[in-house]
């Protein structure tokens, strides 16, 4: 059956044109600001999106839209024959033959203002042929499921992703270790559980926005709110079959990312539209409603666990299967599935392991990276199952984790030897801080208190050769400019890079500035600002660049003073000699050099330090067993404990206290590390109690802050304690490793375990709303 839709679907709740026009109206001040930066020739773009979850595109007629005064161009999939994708190239920039989710981009309009572009969308006629859809990842793996990507076998993928042609499985990562089948008979207790984790949205304060200009000579400039300017340059160039040198990406400070602005989502749309109006900049800004379902969302998950231990509480076997609801395109989600696979045991030492981590195409919004990169979803059920297993043999849950947590020197499930880790210390300190084992009386007779505990691990999920580079240059007055390609998204990375450069050089921190904005034409290369890797990877590059500059200074001064560079040092911006006690400021000499001691000529010149870093030691893993010498660069580990109070009359749960203890290797900026721990805990609380995209037949039912709530300051616990544990990372700068994402990972299961401790109920999926908690208590007979 053919269906014609002359009026586009702008969102899952069918907002009126009047409301959209009200949302989109550009104020005079905003227009003035745009004119200053991009000139009065700036055009505005809007996107026609699919109203169907799955359908063939039979015909597109844009003639009426092109005839509308003020419209300058309409583009469709005819202009985008190439594929785009980070790990798996499985989508066109604009849809060509079919649409795969409600919101898939079908056409783009460039016009003199947003209102005209919006009106033009109504005039584009698209004829669709609806197709059967997939809305459940488990059902999507069945042989009789509708096939969403018939060409999966022809897509280009990196060599550590394993698509299954003629299925909806875009990656299947496996771990096989020991004899799982034989181990069950040795177990004194076995638990089997299934948990579901919903899709959630990143909801950054700043929505996605991009401005693109394609000049007459073929040079493309893209200004974007981006975590991944270099990746965007690379992926868009490949999709358009042009040189990376033709694209310049400029990325100012980002108003919130959380993974939503990693890789490429809407930015390529702006570039393609700009190609149809060469010489004119084109601005594409998503509405808040579009932000909820047309950019990356966090993938949904169906997780099945089977765990067994002996009478002493020692884990003997684990058999976990993860079905990732990765949405319509899985170019980023396939690597999340891989990360969920190699980390699928959690931070536990288990001799017999079977893990299947399966990335499944569905007709839901596109799954992508979000803070934690699969680890919050994975640990959500795993840590509840571990609690249940401990309780089944009457063993204290914290003691259970003491006995089974991974330690330095252990062999993890992939065959890698675990590096030194402070996880045991994190467990001890978190338990002590929450006063584990002692339950305080509730604040009212109708309330119950409980405590919960959870541990976690997370590795930087990235290709084995993701690199970083940096430049350090002096100015005439010896102040320092550090150039990097990593992005400041509010996590404080520019502050930390300045600290590292100052420490390596031997100058005051106040002398150091990190250059911005990031610009792919001028900034040194950085893979992406993701994976909690910048402190470690980019930090190594900055340290190397600073040491390179330091070496140049000391060699110059040593030649001028006729001394050995080993006898010299730079302290507080001065070169000092430990041999002669001579001292000289860096000012002037780092640009103009020093006169030759014999009075003939000069020594030195402008000092420019260069540094780069790329891990060279990560190895491949066997496709059938997941075994290999080194699956990841390292793991950050940690523990969280919470105390909650449950209201028996309403089901409302209040988090009274939260404790976070993480091994960060070395805290370069302890206050910022603690802030990350606190912020991650609050964001974890948000996913535990409030967040979840409500999907019905592929349509998001709650694409606004009216119906999608996130935690605010009022929801934060009255008491939060952040504990820093430091066990140095051998390849980290000063021993440091990342902590940006990790504190969000164990919060939800810690809360779930605390609710169980308080009232004895389990729920198979968040969010744990008051209504859901009350109904679970009623079903369990806790309340009438």
Q: Which of 307, 74, 270 is nearest to 184 (CA)?
A: 307
The reply to whether 741 belongs to the active site is: yes
Number of neighbouring beta carbons within 10 Å of residue 423: 28
Looking at the DSSP bridge assignments, the partners of residue 663 are 637, 725
Cross-sheet strand order for the sheet of 480-484: 512-514, 480-484, 468-474, 608-613
Local structure of residue 713 (DSSP, 8 states): G
Q: Is the bond preceding residue 767 a cis peptide, omega within 30 degrees? A: yes
Cβ–Cβ under 8 Å, residues 298 and 370 = yes
Q: What is the DSSP string of 503-533?
A: HHHT--GGGEEE--SEETTTSPPB--S-TT-
Q: Do 280 and 38 form a contact (C-beta atoms < 8 A)?
A: no
Where are the strands (E) in 141-242, listed by range? 169-177, 189-197, 209-214, 220-224
3-state secondary structure of 556: helix
Q: Read out DSSP for 5-36?
A: ESS---STT---HHHHHHHHPPPHHHHHHHHH
Enclosing H/E stretch for 683 = helix 670-689
Distances (CA, A) of 221 to 133, 252, 489, 492, 773: 38, 13, 21, 27, 51
Write out the H or E segment, with its range, that includes residue 689: helix 670-689
Helix axes 114-123, 17-24, angle to 10 degrees: 150
Q: Is the dihedral of CA 685, 689, 690, 694 positive or negative?
A: positive
- Active-site residue (options: 319, 488, 678, 741): 741
- Tokens at residue 433, please? 């801080």
Residue 656 belongs to what H/E stretch? strand 653-663
Q: How many helices (H) and strands (E) does the chain have?
A: 19, 36
Query: How many CB atoms neighbour CB 441 within 10 A?
Result: 8
**531 neighbors 231 (Cβ within 8 angstroms):** no
Contact partners, residue 210, CB within 8 Å, separation at least 6 = 222, 223, 224, 225, 266, 267, 269, 270, 283, 284
**Tokens for 238?**
């490949």
Cα–Cα–Cα angle for 359, 361, 364, rounded to 5 degrees = 120
Would you say 364 and 302 are in contact if contact means Cβ atoms under 8 Å apart? no
Query: How far is CA 160 from each of CA 169, 172, 321, 537, rounded to the nearest angstrom?
Result: 15, 10, 19, 21
Active site residues: 741
């Amino acid at each position: 059956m053919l269906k014609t839709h002359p009026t586009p679907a702008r969102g899952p709740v069918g907002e009126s044109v009047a409301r959209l026009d009200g949302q989109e109206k550009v104020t005079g001040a905003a227009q003035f600001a745009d004119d200053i930066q991009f000139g009065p020739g700036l055009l505005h773009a809007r996107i026609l999106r699919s109203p169907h979850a799955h359908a063939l595109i039979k015909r597109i007629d844009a003639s009426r839209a092109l005839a509308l005064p003020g419209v300058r161009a309409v583009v469709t999939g005819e202009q985008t024959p190439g594929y785009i994708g980070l790990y798996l190239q499985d989508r066109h920039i604009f849809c060509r033959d079919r649409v795969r989710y409600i919101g898939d981009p079908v056409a783009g309009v460039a016009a003199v203002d947003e209102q005209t572009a919006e009106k033009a969308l109504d005039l584009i006629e698209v004829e669709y042929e609806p197709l059967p859809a997939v809305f459940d990842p488990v059902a999507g793996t069945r042989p009789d499921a509708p096939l969403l990507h018939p060409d999966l076998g022809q897509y280009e993928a990196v060599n550590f992703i394993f698509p299954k042609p003629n299925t909806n499985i875009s990656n299947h990562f496996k771990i096989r270790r020991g004899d799982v089948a034989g181990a069950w008979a040795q177990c004194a207790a076995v638990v089997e559980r299934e948990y579901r984790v919903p899709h959630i949205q990143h909801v950054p304060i700043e929505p996605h926005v991009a401005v693109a200009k394609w000049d007459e000579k073929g040079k493309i400039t893209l200004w974007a709110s981006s975590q991944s300017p270099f990746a965007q340059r690379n992926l868009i160039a490949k999709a358009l079959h042009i040189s990376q040198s033709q694209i310049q990406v400029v990325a100012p400070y980002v108003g919130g990312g959380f993974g939503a602005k990693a890789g490429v989502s809407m930015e390529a749309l702006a570039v393609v539209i700009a190609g149809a109006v060469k010489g004119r900049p084109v601005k594409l800004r998503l509405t808040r409603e579009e932000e909820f379902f047309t950019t990356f969302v966090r993938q949904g998950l169906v997780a099945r666990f089977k765990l067994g231990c002996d009478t002493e509480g020692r884990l003997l076997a684990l058999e976990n299967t993860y079905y990732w609801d990765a949405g319509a395109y899985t170019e980023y989600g396939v690597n999340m599935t891989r990360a969920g696979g190699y980390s699928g045991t959690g931070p536990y030492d288990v001799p017999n392991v079977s893990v299947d981590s399966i990335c499944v195409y569905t007709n839901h919004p596109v799954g992508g990276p979000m803070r934690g990169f699969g680890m919050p979803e994975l640990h959500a059920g795993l840590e509840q199952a571990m609690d249940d297993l401990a309780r089944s043999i009457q063993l204290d849950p914290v003691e259970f984790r003491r006995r089974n947590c991974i330690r330095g020197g252990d062999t993890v499930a992939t065959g890698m030897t675990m590096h030194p880790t402070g996880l045991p210390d994190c467990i001890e300190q978190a338990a002590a801080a929450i006063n584990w084992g002692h339950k305080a009386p509730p604040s009212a007779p109708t309330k119950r208190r409980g405590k919960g505990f959870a541990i976690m691990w997370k590795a930087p999920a990235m290709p084995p050769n993701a690199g970083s580079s940096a430049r350090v240059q002096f100015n005439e007055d010896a102040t320092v400019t550090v150039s990097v390609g990593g992005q400041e998204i509010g996590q404080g990375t520019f502050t930390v890079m300045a600290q590292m450069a100052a420490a390596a050089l031997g100058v005051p921190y106040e002398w150091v500035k990190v250059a911005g904005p990031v610009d792919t034409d001028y900034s040194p290369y950085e893979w992406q600002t993701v994976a909690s890797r910048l402190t470690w990877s980019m930090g190594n590059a900055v340290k190397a660049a600073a040491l390179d500059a330091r070496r140049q200074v000391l060699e110059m001064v040593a030649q001028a003073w006729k001394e050995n560079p080993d006898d010299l040092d730079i302290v507080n911006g001065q070169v000092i000699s430990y041999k002669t006690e001579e001292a000289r400021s860096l000012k002037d000499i780092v640009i103009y050099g020093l006169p030759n001691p014999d009075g003939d000529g000069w020594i030195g010149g402008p000092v420019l330090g260069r540094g780069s870093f790329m891990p060279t030691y990560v190895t491949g893993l066997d496709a059938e067993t997941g075994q290999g010498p080194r699956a990841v660069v390292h793991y950050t580990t940690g523990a969280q404990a919470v105390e909650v109070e449950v209201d028996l009359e309403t089901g409302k749960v209040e988090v009274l206290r939260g404790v976070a203890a993480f091994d960060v290797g070395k805290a370069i900026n302890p206050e910022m590390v603690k802030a990350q721990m606190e912020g991650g805990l609050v964001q974890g609380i948000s996913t535990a109690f409030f967040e979840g995209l409500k999907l019905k037949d592929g349509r998001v039912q709650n694409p606004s802050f009216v119906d999608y709530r996130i935690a605010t300051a009022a929801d934060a616990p009255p008491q939060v304690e952040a504990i820093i544990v430091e066990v140095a990372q051998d390849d980290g700068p000063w021993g440091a490793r990342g902590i940006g994402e990790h504190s969000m990972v164990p919060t939800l299961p810690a809360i779930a375990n605390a609710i169980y401790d308080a009232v004895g109920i389990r729920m198979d999926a968040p969010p744990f709303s008051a209504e859901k908690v009350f109904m679970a208590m009623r079903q369990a007979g806790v309340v009438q």
